[in-house]
Structure 1
Amino acid sequence: MNSLPQELVERVCVFLTRDDLKNTLTLSRSFQYASERASKAYTTFDLNSSNTEDFKKLYAGRRWVYLRHVRYQTYIPPSAEVADAEHLAKHNCRESPQELREKDELFTEQIKSIFDTIKSLEDSSSEGKLQLTIYAPVREVRETCAHRKCISWRLHLLSPDSLPHLGSVRALRIEDPRIIYPLEDNNSLLKIDLRVIVDLAVKFPRLEYLGCKLFAGSGWTPYYNSEVARTYSRDCDRPGPLRDTRLGFAKALDNASLPSTLREAQLDFLWPMSSAERIDHDERIPNLAGSNTYDLFSSSLRALSYGLRRLELKLVADASLFWPSAGSTSYPNLESVCILFHMSTPAGRWYFDGPDGLGSDAEGFQVDEGSYPPLEDTSDDEALDEEVDDEGLNTEIVNNKRFRVRPNNEVLSPFLTAFAKAASEMPKLKEASLWSPLRWQTGDAYGNSDELGKNIAKWPDRPLAWGITYIAPKTFGFHFEGQHYSQSRQLFWTTGTWRPSDELHDLFGRIGDQSVELLEYWGLDNYGKEMLPLREVFDQFQIYGRRHPACAWPVDKSFIIHKTLQ
């Protein structure tokens, strides 16, 4: 066995099952190495604070080159283990500045441990090629007070400049691990400050991919039947910390030197979508842009995209995401763009109204000192807790009013204009989609709402969508084969009865090589030409990941490789 060429040994092991590979491990040193590699048993490791030494021992030698994915679930102990009893007695409801600092220190300690552990292997061996995924902590809450479970404050990374640079990390993702309904569970999801994404990304000089899946809401907590439950739940999503984390991200990104190797970004700031769409369309929402004429968060993401080839975003954004408020820009490398924008704007307005302009005059409210959770118990907190002690906590969820399905041209047109201008400055663009998820669920707000809903969509009670898609010539856009391959440029206006102005229509016509014919499609036959489609159409327009087989558009065999005919 020792006389066989290593290439042949590797080839043989590729075709063996996991059980067979267990047997070939002991045949020879060559088969041992090849079997370990082919089994993929060492490609992923779930690192935590208690197994760092095991991790180092396992990957200190040859197995380091097998490793492809390191996952780390951060952990914050129950608050009863963090603060002493006397401290908790003074702060039964609200977290104090001391407790917030302690959480930041614990989170920072774990991030530093990840970096130091990977750095030690790099120093003793060589640079690897890893994806690092960090999960936000889910904290057990043992206190009976629901205020302790509904937290708006975010976890911060302290002294990020002290972290070492890691050449092995080529992909970074930061995620919320699961959906938590704190009033119905004894857990709380601790939100990570958005600027942590930037602070970590700059530490990876060979980073190629940057991703996140994080909750960054704006009044999207469940709408409970009980006023007491609604009061508690608002503490999960106070606009003050939300505004601050968006501004902090923008400031960090504006001052950061991201690695020149970065080519792909997949940033989901609307996770989970079930929460993002739960917003009541009659609710006033915060003005997160403040006195600025544009949203700094959106503008910073535009700067991030200049060097990318693929960009997928889910977020609340304004026109500065695509085009600066003054001057011009270009996107020399972008090939694939998929933007899911929320129907609300950073300034507190809405991109969509109800029928007959309902809700078009809505304005956002200003974020002020009252937009933050208190840092000590209040008489209102005590009264609320006493009411729950006496009557219990009703967590029955009721449906919000959701009627915004008609574009508000005053607000939406500048957004679309900026997108069209930006897309026309993308010389390598192969596919682009700009869309928004919509819902129609009004109850009796319009009398016979069922009949009105049938004028909006074929299935008005199901998740809907509104959007525009571009596919370049000779391209299988968004992995689709068949009818969506063409020698021409293609624009799909899946916008119901809405039509762009002549000026806006002309701007979209400039996307791509204008010497090539442009084909335009208005609506989809399956859903009614003048009606909104089901959301499942646009759910498939993702640059990354496997698409659902129920998609109304053709499905090919691949799920991640972008294919372009030559």
Structure 2
Amino acid sequence: MASQHILATPPSKDAILNTLLEDIRHYNARLPRLYVGLRECTLDAEMPLLLNPPGAPLACREPPAEFEAVHAHFSAQVHAFFNALHDLEDMAAKKPSEELDLIRPDDGLWLAIRIVNQSFDIYPDCLHRTFHTRCLTVQNANSLPLLNRVTQLRVFPAPDYASEPGMNFAHMRPVSPRVPLELAVRLPYLRELDCPWLWERLPVAFSSHALRRFARVWEGPWRDARAEFGRCVRDIMPLLPSSLTKARLWFWKPNPYGDDTDQAAQMPDLVSVLPPSSSSKFEDMDPVSLGLRALGSRLEELDIRALITPDLFRSCTDNTAVHSLLWPRMQHLKVEFHPCAPDGKWYFSGPRGEDPHATGFAITRKEHYPPGQEDVDDTHNLWSREEDEYTGDDDICLARQPDMFRTLPVAGRINPLLLAFALSLQRQNMPSLQDAELFTWLTWRPSEERAREYEGSNDAPPSVDNETVLFRWGVRYDAPKGDGETEVTWQVGEHWRPGAEIMSVFGDLVGEKKMEWKPFEFVREREQDPVNFI
């Protein structure tokens, strides 16, 4: 890692092990002694400090060699952590019987890997260095030692409490969504996989057009990361531990007060692959939906937050046969879908049917991978002008121009998703199911121009003084408990109803009289579970 711009201390397995042993000694010495042995163990995966001396400043964009050095350092930390835990497990197995346990016998080890943000000795003036696109992976993950005492794995970005909710991706190094799966393969007795944010993010409608360029979500790498997840699931399915029963896979992290999105802008098609690209081997189906469907066949509990298509719930076809969806162990299923599908088509329109850009745009190598066709000098000059002309009270990075107006379901797009979900709930598909829900959160935060169009109208959700309004939209299925009855609860609005075929399938499941229709609950802040906060 020889570079004048990188300062990093190579990770030490022995140092990590000594820290773990010291923690165990302190823990086991406490009185009264309710438990003995280590349970939670966390790796704070820190990035090398990047040096930005005035005489030799960092390049505006991160060079590949510099990223590879950061990448190698991250991988080395994970390897050192796993090797230290392997030594700890060996010590725990060989300790004399009269000594206190080093690892909690019943719970095992709860392993967490927390990805720390990138830092600099002197932060660069250019904001290209603030937003990262290249994904970190664990190099040679198949050479990691097997850890037999780990029962839980959590992988997540370290929270940045200094950032506003809409800027918590600043200085964040994204990790490939395949990493948690590759680590899970090295944990033969893993019971739970927890990923509260898999680093997916959506475009933010900054008021500053220069900031939109700096913080651009590059569509090519975005599509590639989703394909990488799908390929990884397909490759590691035979290797996943049979003990794994519970997973939370949240791909994006919403702003609890409403995302700052321009829903009138065209979204990318993250599913299709254009020639001369190599075949995606997903047959124009969404790789994330396919990967999640495969994982569901192994789990008892699955909590999803993702851009999905009906492929998540549908039967799959290979060259020889059609395979029905079969999730024999599934008991609790929770799916939060984004209002936009991964192919760039929105599941919802405006209250009056507004649906600009009905399809997503095609991703090309020339335009949608960094640096694309951006003129860096032009971006810098634009940023300087915008800073000089800005008159707002808040920091310019916090100024947004969202246009969030999609609150009415588009029947031709939402009904296939609802139907696939309904069919998947049939007993032959999920014989152990206790409850399942499919939902999204919708936001009314229109642009100034659109707000004027709806002024005085009852078409839009109720809003006082143009405040942001959020509400939950979806359906929940509850299997009978004891002498209880099966129930389906809809929360889709007073004036909208699913298609007849969907109602027929749910009617076969529960009967029409067992359906409840709940009104919307309009709120300023969406629900958050403090346990899940990162």
TM-score (norm 1): 0.75
* Residues 69-105 of structure 1: per-residue CA shift (max 9 Å, x gap): 1122111123228xx999x76x611111111211110
From 51, 59, 66, the counterpart of 2:37: 66
Higher helix residue share: 1
Say which SS state the counterpart of residue 325 (structure 2) adopts.
coil
Identity within the alignment, %: 26
Look up the match of 1:11. Answer: none
Say which SS state the counterpart of residue 375 (structure 2) adopts.
helix
| Correspondence 1:69-80 to 2 at 5 A | 69-80=40-51
Shift of 1:439: 0.6
Look up the match of 1:103. Answer: 70
Look up the match of 1:40. Answer: none
| Correspondence 1:78-477 to 2 at 5 A | 78-80=49-51, 92-126=59-93, 129-141=108-120, 142-179=123-160, 180=163, 188-214=171-197, 216-217=199-200, 219-221=202-204, 223-234=205-216, 237-256=217-236, 257-274=239-256, 277-291=259-273, 292-326=283-317, 327=322, 328-359=324-355, 362-369=358-365, 370-374=367-371, 380-388=375-383, 392=387, 394-424=396-426, 425-442=429-446, 443-445=448-450, 447-452=452-457, 456-457=461-462, 461-474=468-481
For 1:521 and 1:209, how far apart are their aligned partners in 2? 33
From 43, 50, 53, the counterpart of 2:18: 53
For 2:463 and 2:451, how far apart are their aligned partners in 1? 18
Look up the match of 1:42. Answer: none
Shift of 1:445: 1.4
For 1:105 and 1:319, how far apart are their aligned partners in 2? 38
Shift of 1:448: 4.8
The amino acid across from 1:115 in the alignment is: F
- Contact 1:48–1:74, Cα closer than 8 Å, also in 2: no
Say which SS state the counterpart of residue 439 (structure 1) adopts.
strand
* Residues 228-267 of structure 1: per-residue CA shift (max 9 Å, x gap): 2222121xx2112211111111111111021100111111
Shift of 1:453: 5.3
Paired residues, number: 470
Q: CA 1:275 to 1:100, structure 2 compared with 1: closer, same or farther past 3 Å?
A: farther
The amino acid across from 1:75 in the alignment is: E
Look up the match of 2:488. Answer: 491
Shift of 1:431: 1.4
Shift of 1:324: 3.1
For 1:273 and 1:324, how far apart are their aligned partners in 2? 33
For 2:169 and 2:247, how far apart are their aligned partners in 1? 34
For 1:242 and 1:546, how far apart are their aligned partners in 2? 25
Of stretches 292-301 and 183-192 in structure 1, the one that deviates more from structure 2 is 183-192
CA RMSD of aligned residues (A): 3.3
Shift of 1:51: 4.9
For 1:233 and 1:392, how far apart are their aligned partners in 2? 16
Shift of 1:409: 1.3
Say which SS state the counterpart of residue 477 (structure 2) adopts.
strand
The amino acid across from 1:156 in the alignment is: T
For 1:314 and 1:204, how far apart are their aligned partners in 2? 24
For 1:202 and 1:140, how far apart are their aligned partners in 2? 31
Shift of 1:341: 0.5
Q: CA 1:107 to 1:362, structure 2 compared with 1: closer, same or farther past 3 Å?
A: same
The amino acid across from 1:94 in the alignment is: R
Look up the match of 1:503. Answer: 501
* Residues 333-362 of structure 1: per-residue CA shift (max 9 Å, x gap): 111111110001111111111123211652
Shift of 1:545: 5.0
For 2:253 and 2:434, how far apart are their aligned partners in 1? 27
For 2:155 and 2:259, how far apart are their aligned partners in 1? 22
For 1:279 and 1:183, how far apart are their aligned partners in 2? 10
For 1:186 and 1:518, how far apart are their aligned partners in 2? 46
Q: CA 1:390 to 1:451, structure 2 compared with 1: closer, same or farther past 3 Å?
A: closer
The amino acid across from 1:254 in the alignment is: R
For 1:170 and 1:49, how far apart are their aligned partners in 2? 23
Q: CA 1:62 to 1:72, structure 2 compared with 1: closer, same or farther past 3 Å?
A: closer
Shift of 1:65: 5.1
Look up the match of 2:276. Answer: none
For 2:169 and 2:299, how far apart are their aligned partners in 1? 41
Shift of 1:274: 4.5
For 1:494 and 1:273, how far apart are their aligned partners in 2? 22
Say which SS state the counterpart of residue 53 (structure 1) adopts.
helix
* Residues 262-301 of structure 1: per-residue CA shift (max 9 Å, x gap): 1111111121444983221111111111144310111011
* Residues 358-403 of structure 1: per-residue CA shift (max 9 Å, x gap): 116521112222212239xx98213323454576373241241111
The amino acid across from 1:125 in the alignment is: A
* Residues 163-215 of structure 1: per-residue CA shift (max 9 Å, x gap): 01101111111112225569989960111111101110111000110110225
Look up the match of 2:98. Answer: none
Q: CA 1:396 to 1:306, structure 2 compared with 1: closer, same or farther past 3 Å?
A: closer
For 1:184 and 1:439, how far apart are their aligned partners in 2? 19
- Contact 1:92–1:145, Cα closer than 8 Å, also in 2: no
For 2:312 and 2:345, how far apart are their aligned partners in 1? 16
For 2:463 and 2:144, how far apart are their aligned partners in 1? 54
Look up the match of 2:31. Answer: none
Q: CA 1:312 to 1:219, structure 2 compared with 1: closer, same or farther past 3 Å?
A: closer
For 1:434 and 1:473, how far apart are their aligned partners in 2? 18
Q: CA 1:290 to 1:448, structure 2 compared with 1: closer, same or farther past 3 Å?
A: closer
Long gaps (5+) in structure 2 = 1-11, 29-34, 94-102, 274-282, 389-395
Q: CA 1:85 to 1:103, structure 2 compared with 1: closer, same or farther past 3 Å?
A: farther
Q: CA 1:295 to 1:440, structure 2 compared with 1: closer, same or farther past 3 Å?
A: same
Q: CA 1:457 to 1:468, structure 2 compared with 1: closer, same or farther past 3 Å?
A: farther
- Contact 1:280–1:401, Cα closer than 8 Å, also in 2: yes
For 1:230 and 1:62, how far apart are their aligned partners in 2? 49
* Residues 13-72 of structure 1: per-residue CA shift (max 9 Å, x gap): xxxxxxxxxxxxxxxxxxxxxxxxxxxxxxxxxx99965422234448995952111122
Long gaps (5+) in structure 1 = 1-46, 476-485, 525-531, 548-566
The amino acid across from 1:367 in the alignment is: I
